[in-house]
Structure 1
Amino acid sequence: MEPLIEIKNLRVDFALRSGMVRALRDVTLTINKGERLGIVGESGAGKSVLGFSIINLISKPGRITGGQIIFNNQDISKYSCEQMRKIRGDRISMIFQDPMMTLNPVLTIGTQMKETIHAHRNVSDKEAEAICLDKLRKVYIPSPEKRLNQYPHEFSGGMRQRIVIAISLLTNPNLIIADEPTTALDVTIQAEIMDLLLELCETENMGLILITHDLAVVSEVTQRIAVLYAGKVVEIGPTRQIIDNPRHPYTQGLIQALPQMAGGARRLNQIPGMMPSLRDMPSGCPFQPRCTVRIDKCLHEIPLLTAPEDGSQVACFVRQGGM
């Protein structure tokens, strides 16, 4: 398959008063055209930082300090703000967690959608409106002609998120980054939004990076999963393979912590301890303080991802070479 975007040894640092903190540690990923990749991990693993890095939306004092982000044969990690504006919201779109933080409450939906189109396309207002209506229909917004003249507060949470998705589709992007797109929604609406994203990826042949802590959602929507821990990719492979046969102890812990894995009235499994602070990372493998299968080597050396094995890679001295 042809790569859509290649992330190579990406490093992101935050300059704090207490010193430099590394949020992403040599992250390497490839997303192919039309592929759906899930990024999973606990809060603080670096999932959102990775998403923001791709479109250069990291707030100061954070910055990319190493590696490459190759898109259309160009390293966009080195692009200026002006150069990134031509890609961000055009070739690469992002869906954020809270639609009310994305939409301007004092502008109608139509005004906000048209502004997006005019920022990237030289079209008339009538042509822009036709594009808006088409995208609203694609995300199943009823009476789109009427909805264009309404304000965000006149929509439910699920409808607002559909509008945000419609805005992300306006320029027919190659890639959509969805950062916890269903966090603020109830369970039934979550399922509708994820079904919609899946349908749009298949019909529009868009790539999707789905950032979430919900393994159940990822297992239904994505084709591959990358597991992040303390800013590093510790396991990556086909979704079904990761879910059915996780090799890294951290991935195993995440899956065993799902309610359906406990069953009946048994207590939920949980990973002991907490993710280390980025200011005080342990020596060796970052997961070793919480790991139940660690060996001496884990205390002093950082494991690297293995070469692809059945499409799967793992960064674990104990698990390398199989279960």
Structure 2
Amino acid sequence: MSHLLEVEDLEVKFALRGGDLTAINGASFTLDPGEKMGIVGESGAGKSVTGFAIINLISKPGFISGGRILFNGEEISSFSDEKMRKIRGNRISMIFQDPMMTLNPVFTIGTQMVETLKAHRNISRHDAEKIVLEKLKKVYIPSPEKRLSQYPHEFSGGMRQRIIIAMSLLTDPALIIADEPTTALDVTIQAEIMDLLQELCDTDEMGLILITHDLGVVSQVTEKMAVMYAGKIIEAGATDQVVTNPAHPYTKGLIKSLPGMIKPGEDLYQIPGMMPNLTDIPPGCAFNPRCPVKEPVCLEKEPKLLSTKQGIMAACHMVGQ
């Protein structure tokens, strides 16, 4: 079976006055139909830029400066805007963290969904409305017929996010990229939205890339994951393996800082220090200023992503030491 998505040595730069800034440095991964993958890391790690690069939506001064992105075997990173529009929002959909940024406050939900569908398909309004209702039912919106004439502000945050998911499903995409889709929602609604995305992947063979800083969500939803730090993938593998047997000190720190990992009354663990600024990445391993196990080699030589005994890929000089 061929891969649904292949990202090979992806490099994204931002052209600034002082020279080009590398935001993504050689990221590679694959995704199969129906597979669920998590991309994890702190703010500024490059997770969202990776998602935007896949659908070629990086705004200037950013640009894809190297690597290849293959979708269903076709290299889409070099597609023209016009050609890309046939894929973006059609074969690949993206869900953003704030539904109010995606929904237009002055149009009803029905109008927005019908127009979205008509932008990608040559169908009548009547047929479009039928598909819209079917998708709203699919995401468990109660009495969807009534909802079509309502405006975004008449819905709760969780309902709005479901409507965004219904919108992203209108064209039966092969891949959904969800960028922090539950950040603005409370915990019970978060769980509902994640269950819904999982169900859609299982029933429709839809691929999912879940971009998040929340390792807890990734461990419940995805089959494989990649951990990003300062624009690089520093650990990757099957989710259960990475969560139970992390190889990289950064991943270990992320797992240790999960609330469920501490005894009642203990302080929550925090990785010391901050992610480096992209203009000021330290030599050697970018994580070295914050690393509890660093050695002299870590300050000089950049570690390569290599396979560990557990079959996880990790970029750390100390793995296996």
TM-score range, shorter chain: over 0.9
Alignment of 1:1-323 (within 5 A): 1-307=1-307, 310-319=310-319, 322=320
Q: Name the stretch that deviates more: 307-316 or 293-302.
A: 307-316
Q: What secondary structure sits across from 1:3 in the alignment?
A: coil
What's the CA shift for 1:17?
2.1
Alignment-mate amino acid for residue 241 of structure 2:
Q
**Partner Cα separation in structure 2 for residue 89 and residue 311 of structure 1:** 35
Specify whether residues 308 and 205 from structure 1 end up closer, same or farther in structure 2 by C-alpha distance, changes over 3 A only: farther
What's the CA shift for 1:295?
1.8
**Partner Cα separation in structure 1 for residue 47 and residue 284 of structure 2:** 21
**Partner Cα separation in structure 2 for residue 207 and residue 67 of structure 1:** 21
**Partner Cα separation in structure 2 for residue 252 and residue 2 of structure 1:** 33
Specify whether residues 95 and 58 from structure 1 end up closer, same or farther in structure 2 by C-alpha distance, changes over 3 A only: same
Alignment-mate amino acid for residue 100 of structure 2:
M
Q: What secondary structure sits across from 2:77 in the alignment?
A: helix
**Partner Cα separation in structure 2 for residue 149 and residue 204 of structure 1:** 28
Alignment-mate amino acid for residue 317 of structure 1:
H
**Partner Cα separation in structure 2 for residue 309 and residue 33 of structure 1:** 27
Q: What secondary structure sits across from 1:77 in the alignment?
A: coil
Query: After the TM superposition, which parts of structure 1 deviate over 2 Å for at least 4 consecutive aligned residues?
Result: 307-311
Alignment-mate amino acid for residue 233 of structure 2:
V
Give TM-score, length-normalised by structure 2: 0.98
Q: What secondary structure sits across from 1:251 in the alignment?
A: helix
**Partner Cα separation in structure 1 for residue 302 and residue 187 of structure 2:** 39
Q: What secondary structure sits across from 1:225 in the alignment?
A: strand
What's the CA shift for 1:48?
0.5
1:97-155: CA deviation from partner (whole Å, max 9, x where unpaired): 10000001111111111111111112111111110000000000011111111111111
Alignment-mate amino acid for residue 101 of structure 1:
M
Q: What secondary structure sits across from 2:276 in the alignment?
A: coil
What's the CA shift for 1:2?
3.0
Q: Aligned Cα RMSD in Å? A: 1.2
Q: What secondary structure sits across from 2:209 in the alignment?
A: strand
Alignment-mate amino acid for residue 53 of structure 1:
A
Alignment-mate amino acid for residue 295 of structure 2:
I
Count of matched residue positions in the alignment of Structure 1 and Structure 2: 321
1:73-120: CA deviation from partner (whole Å, max 9, x where unpaired): 221111111111000000000000100000011111111111111111
Q: Contact between 2:36 and 2:210, CA under 8 Å: does it hold in 1? A: yes
**Partner Cα separation in structure 2 for residue 93 and residue 311 of structure 1:** 31
**Partner Cα separation in structure 2 for residue 29 and residue 310 of structure 1:** 18
**Partner Cα separation in structure 1 for residue 170 and residue 304 of structure 2:** 40
**Partner Cα separation in structure 2 for residue 28 and residue 142 of structure 1:** 41
1:221-243: CA deviation from partner (whole Å, max 9, x where unpaired): 00011000000000001111111
Alignment-mate amino acid for residue 40 of structure 2:
V
**Partner Cα separation in structure 1 for residue 3 and residue 310 of structure 2:** 19
**Partner Cα separation in structure 1 for residue 210 and residue 223 of structure 2:** 11
What's the CA shift for 1:310?
4.5
What's the CA shift for 1:52?
0.5
Alignment-mate amino acid for residue 230 of structure 2:
A
Name stretches of at least 5 consecutive residues in structure 2 with no aligned partner.
none
Q: Contact between 2:114 and 2:132, CA under 8 Å: does it hold in 1? A: yes
Alignment-mate amino acid for residue 315 of structure 1:
A
Alignment-mate amino acid for residue 174 of structure 1:
A
Q: Name the stretch that deviates more: 72-81 or 82-91.
A: 72-81
Q: Contact between 2:3 and 2:73, CA under 8 Å: does it hold in 1? A: no
**Partner Cα separation in structure 2 for residue 303 and residue 254 of structure 1:** 19
**Partner Cα separation in structure 1 for residue 236 and residue 66 of structure 2:** 21
**Partner Cα separation in structure 2 for residue 192 and residue 69 of structure 1:** 31
Alignment-mate amino acid for residue 303 of structure 1:
P
Name stretches of at least 5 consecutive residues in structure 1 with no aligned partner.
none
Q: What secondary structure sits across from 2:234 in the alignment?
A: strand
Q: What secondary structure sits across from 2:4 in the alignment?
A: strand
Give TM-score, length-normalised by structure 1: 0.97
Specify whether residues 86 and 311 from structure 1 end up closer, same or farther in structure 2 by C-alpha distance, changes over 3 A only: farther
1:27-75: CA deviation from partner (whole Å, max 9, x where unpaired): 0011111100000000000010000110011111111000000112221
**Partner Cα separation in structure 1 for residue 88 and residue 133 of structure 2:** 22
Specify whether residues 62 and 3 from structure 1 end up closer, same or farther in structure 2 by C-alpha distance, changes over 3 A only: same
